């Protein structure tokens, strides 16, 4: 709250004169000498002897007048009273002219340090050299290098490599699987010094229509981001071979393609609610037509031995 003035201002009148921009009311001559007459009388100070006590008292009086004027100026109101309406108006004006990132862009920036490319290799029959067998995505859920991905990305590979957001490449081992949800848990053998684990969020309050972001390496290109909405909950997906059903899935329409498998499905605050695991396409093209599925993070966390929410 602005500090109230200790002195109220008076309206200009014939008996008022300005000194240094401040109105000072003049007293009648009979009661008090005018400031003008006091100031003019100071010219006679030159004729006083330095030892004359009148000189000392005159200087003290002048300093007192100047100090009073300075104090009066500091107490004058400097602007309108700050109100909530003024604050709200300033905030709205800033939002109008500021170039703010979209919610999807902020979610991408939040999750990106935790997203990795996952590649599996097999030995070639002819030369015994490593040949890439599968490519997908993973997400770091514990900062010591524990990664969630899809089982079908690493299954059958004898050698697994992960590439972190900063470009570091490291070997990784499978430490756990959950075949019923097509999940695998990896442990990276080496991690960046500033490793950041993703934040996981319960799906209990997830609703159809909520915006979500899928981040991964479709066809090995990335990291790439696509935004969409939750299309449905508790869906069931049957594998193209027809030999396995995965239930309790999140259906979403953010674009996903081969290579997105194992990547995070995140909310607009960058928190993981699912692991992308499959796309539905009645043809054999294996491309996205608008229906993708993700394993809820509660199930995925259990695969890593972490308690559900």
pLDDT value of residue 78: 61
- 19 or 245, greater pLDDT: 245
Mean pLDDT confidence for 20-30: 41
- Which residue in 198, 145, 150 sits closest to 168, CA to CA? 145
Global model pTM greater than 0.85: no
* CA angle 118–211–268, rounded 5-degree value: 70
pLDDT value of residue 266: 98
Mean pLDDT confidence for 173-198: 95
Phi, psi of 147 (to 5 degrees): -125, 135
**What does each C-alpha distance from 307 to 272, 298, 303 come to in angstroms?**
15, 8, 10
- Structural domains of the chain, ranges and CATH numbers in brackets: 1-100 (no CATH), 109-303 (2.40.10.120)
DSSP label at residue 200: B
Q: Name the percent of the chain lying above pLDDT 70.
A: 75
pLDDT value of residue 13: 46
**Residue 309 confidence (pLDDT) above 80:** no
Sequence-separated (6 or more) residues with CB below 8 Å from residue 69: 19, 20, 22, 24
**Residue 35 confidence (pLDDT) above 70:** no
- 249 or 284, greater pLDDT: 249
User: Known catalytic residues?
Assistant: 152, 182, 261
pLDDT value of residue 262: 97
**Residue 135 confidence (pLDDT) above 70:** yes
pLDDT bin (cut points 50, 70, 90) of residue 81 is confident
pLDDT value of residue 88: 80
Sequence-separated (6 or more) residues with CB below 8 Å from residue 129: 123
pLDDT bin (cut points 50, 70, 90) of residue 4 is very low
Can you tell me the distance from the alpha carbon of 117 to that of 149, in angstroms, rounded to the nearest whole number? Answer: 10
pLDDT value of residue 87: 82
């Amino acid at each position: 709250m602005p500090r109230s003035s200790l002195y109220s201002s008076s309206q200009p009148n014939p008996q008022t004169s300005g000194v240094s921009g401040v109105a000072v009311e003049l007293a009648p001559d009979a009661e008090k000498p005018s400031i003008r007459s006091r100031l003019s009388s100071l010219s006679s100070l030159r004729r006083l002897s330095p030892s004359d006590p009148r000189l000392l008292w005159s200087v003290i009086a002048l300093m007192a007048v100047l100090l009073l004027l300075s104090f009066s100026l500091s107490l004058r109101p400097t602007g309108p009273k700050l109100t909530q309406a003024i604050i709200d108006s300033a905030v709205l004006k800033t939002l109008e002219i500021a170039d703010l990132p979209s919610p999807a862009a902020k979610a991408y920036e939040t999750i990106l340090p935790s997203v990795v490319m996952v590649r599996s290799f097999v030995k070639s029959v002819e030369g015994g050299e490593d040949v890439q067998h599968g490519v997908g995505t993973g997400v770091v859920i514990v900062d010591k290098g524990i990664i969630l991905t899809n089982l079908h990305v690493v299954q059958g590979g004898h050698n697994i490599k992960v590439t972190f957001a900063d470009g570091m490449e490291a070997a990784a081992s499978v430490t756990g699987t959950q075949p019923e949800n097509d999940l695998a848990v990896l442990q990276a053998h080496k991690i960046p010094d500033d490793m950041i684990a993703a934040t996981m969020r319960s799906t209990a309050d997830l609703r159809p229509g909520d915006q979500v972001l899928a981040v991964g390496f479709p066809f090995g290109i990335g990291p790439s981001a696509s935004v969409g909405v939750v299309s449905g909950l508790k869906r069931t997906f049957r594998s193209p071979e027809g030999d396995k059903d995965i239930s309790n899935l999140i259906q979403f329409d953010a674009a996903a393609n081969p290579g997105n498998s194992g990547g995070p499905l995140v909310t607009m605050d960058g928190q993981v609610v699912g692991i992308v695991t499959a796309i539905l396409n009645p043809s054999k093209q294996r491309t996205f037509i608008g229906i993708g599925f993700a394993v809820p993070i509660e199930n995925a966390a259990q695969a890593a031995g972490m308690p559900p929410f």
